[in-house]
């Protein structure tokens, strides 16, 4: 695969091997990474050494294997820190239940965990274990924690296990793991030079000094989008409503808790943005008047008059072409997703709309996962499964990047950086 060769050539990749029978597959993985031009360093846990000898890896990589957290390298530097800093990516394969537990708890007793913990490089984790271990709540909790760290999990597959039983837990095939690594690099920096504005979270419309009308939006999807855009090299402004997660580091955060505040922030940022992703759940109505004093219980019914909020994204949709960014809206619908999303795309003047179903057996609100369908003017353009929100964000940026690139005039596509004009 030519694209893959390009994507991995010259990349420094640390492969961390832990003690599963699947460690033999790490040999193939390391060979395939090296064949694609990557500079591969292998770190092993003591248990991994019971399955595969370090000489096997050293023969393939022509580099020393690190299996001792106390080891110094040839320049008397701390070897695991040197590797952690040099790595462009870290691939933990196979990752045992024990390794997942250590990583999730920050226990760094060996070379593999020490490198993963010390490094700022992206970490790809390919677990392998018995089916019972994989489905155990402790393992699943640890995997969820690693996802929160931003680690990418290459899910184990169903098949025959070391025990002879069949179930989930087999290490993903080396080709699938390589694909995940290539994907990481193929897209690295693809938003370089672009200013991306993402709104996230729910708005709160005050009723009185202590009460508000709000919604259950957690801001997780918007935060994942902002983080993924940052990792791809964009300058990111996050317009944050009420969020249950911290905004990612390295992005400019503008707090905007009410729909009015969000409108001002979005309208201010949009003309300087290349891409606007309106992931926030903006309240459609606000109380006509917020009481200056806490509303007292009176025993009577309380009537609250609600007035419609301005449709922020529709206002951006009406901006003149020379200042209007590429716009992606969200549509959370309880039914008839396709028709409602299509109508919103048209009425609000959006380029793309991300639709998801809320309520019912699966509810994306507040969840770490989401199942979305993206609609363009021609209809539904994706068929994605349920995925962790960070992976949804990555796929969305792949798509947005492609669409945005297509509509950008040819001459501008070569512009080194900065804002590009569109739609001339």
What residues are labeled active site? 215
DSSP state of 73: -
Residue 137 to residue 147: CA distance in whole angstroms: 15
How many CB atoms are closer than 10 A to CB 135? 13
Closer by beta carbon to ligand C5P, 41 or else 205: 205
Q: What distance lies between CA 130 and its chain's CA centroid?
A: 28
Closest distance of CB 313 from ligand C5P, Å: 3
Q: Which is nearer to ligand C5P, 40 or 197 (CB)?
A: 197
Question: Which residues neighbour 301 within 8 Å (Cβ) at sequence distance 6 or greater?
Answer: none
> Which residue, 61 or 217, is less far from ligand C5P as judged by CB?
217
Contact 239, 254 (CB under 8 A): yes
Q: Which residue's entry shows tokens 């396709």?
A: 338
Q: Least distance to ligand C5P from the beta carbon of 332, Å?
A: 6
CB of 64 vs ligand C5P, minimal distance in Å: 52
Check residue 151 and report its DSSP letter.
P
Q: What angle do CA 211, 216, 221 make, to 5 degrees?
A: 135
In our burial notation (b when 16+ CB lie closer than 10 A, e otherwise), range 40-52 reads bbbbbbebbeebb
Which is closer to ligand C5P, CB of 311 or CB of 368?
Answer: 311
Distances (CA, A) of 147 to 142, 242, 244, 246, 334: 9, 22, 16, 15, 27
Q: Which of 311, 315, 291 is nearest to 303 (CA)?
A: 291
Task: Report the nearest approach of ligand C5P to the CB of residue 383 (Å).
Answer: 21
Whose Cβ is closer to ligand C5P: residue 127's or residue 317's?
317
**Contacts with ligand C5P, residue ranges (CB under 6 A):** 259, 278, 280, 282, 284, 309, 311-313, 329-331, 344
Give the DSSP letter of residue 72: B
Residue 142 exposed, middle or buried by CB count within 10 Å (0-12, 13-18, 19+): buried
Residue 377 beta carbon to ligand C5P: minimum distance, rounded to whole angstroms: 16
| CB-CB neighbours of 28 under 10 Å | 15
3-state secondary structure at position 275: strand
CB of 207 within 8 A of CB of 287? yes
Give least dist CB 281 to ligand C5P, A. Answer: 7
Closer by beta carbon to ligand C5P, 170 or else 263: 263
* DSSP per residue, 104-131: HHT---SHHHHHHHH--S-EEEEE---H
Give the residue with the Cβ less far from ligand C5P, 38 or 278: 278
Q: How far is the CB of 316 from ligand C5P (least distance, A)?
A: 8
């Amino acid at each position: 695969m030519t694209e893959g060769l390009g994507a991995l050539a010259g990349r420094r990749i640390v492969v961390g091997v832990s003690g599963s029978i699947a460690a033999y597959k790490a040999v193939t993985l390391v060979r395939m990474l090296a064949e694609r031009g990557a500079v591969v360093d292998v770190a092993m846990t003591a248990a991994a050494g019971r399955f595969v000898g370090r000489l096997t890896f050293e023969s393939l990589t022509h580099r020393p294997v690190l299996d001792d957290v106390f080891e110094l390298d040839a320049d008397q530097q701390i070897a695991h820190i040197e590797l952690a800093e040099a790595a462009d990516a870290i691939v933990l394969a196979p990752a045992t239940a024990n390794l997942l537990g250590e990583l999730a708890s920050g226990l760094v007793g060996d070379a593999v965990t020490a490198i993963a913990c010390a490094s700022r490089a992206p970490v790809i984790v390919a677990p392998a274990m018995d089916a019972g271990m994989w489905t155990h709540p402790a393992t699943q909790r640890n995997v969820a924690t690693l996802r929160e760290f931003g680690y990418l999990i290459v899910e184990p597959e169903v098949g025959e296990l070391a025990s002879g039983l069949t179930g989930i837990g087999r290490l993903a095939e080396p080709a699938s793991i390589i694909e995940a690594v290539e994907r990481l690099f193929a897209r690295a920096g693809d938003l370089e030079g672009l200013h991306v504005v993402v709104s996230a979270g729910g708005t709160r419309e005050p009723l009185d000094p202590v009460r508000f009308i709000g919604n259950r939006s957690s801001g997780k999807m918007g935060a994942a989008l902002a983080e993924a855009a940052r990792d791809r090299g964009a300058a990111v402004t996050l317009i944050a409503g009420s969020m249950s997660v911290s905004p990612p580091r390295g992005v400019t955060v503008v707090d905007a808790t009410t729909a009015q505040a969000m409108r001002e922030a979005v309208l201010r940022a949009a003309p300087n943005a290349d891409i606007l992703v309106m992931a926030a759940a903006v309240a459609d109505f606000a109380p006509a008047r917020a009481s200056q004093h806490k509303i007292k219980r009176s025993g009577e019914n309380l009537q609250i008059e609600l007035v419609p909020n301005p449709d922020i994204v529709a206002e951006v949709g009406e901006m003149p072409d020379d200042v209007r960014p590429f716009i992606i809206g969200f549509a959370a619908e309880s039914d008839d997703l396709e028709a409602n999303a299509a109508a919103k795309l048209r009425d609000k003047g959006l380029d793309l709309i991300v639709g998801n179903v809320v309520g019912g057996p699966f509810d994306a609100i507040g969840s770490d996962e989401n199942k979305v369908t993206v609609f363009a003017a021609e209809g539904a353009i994706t068929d994605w499964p349920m995925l962790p929100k960070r992976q949804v964000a990555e796929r969305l940026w792949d798509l947005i990047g492609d669409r945005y690139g297509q509509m950008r005039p040819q001459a501008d596509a070569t512009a080194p950086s900065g804002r590009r004009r569109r739609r001339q």
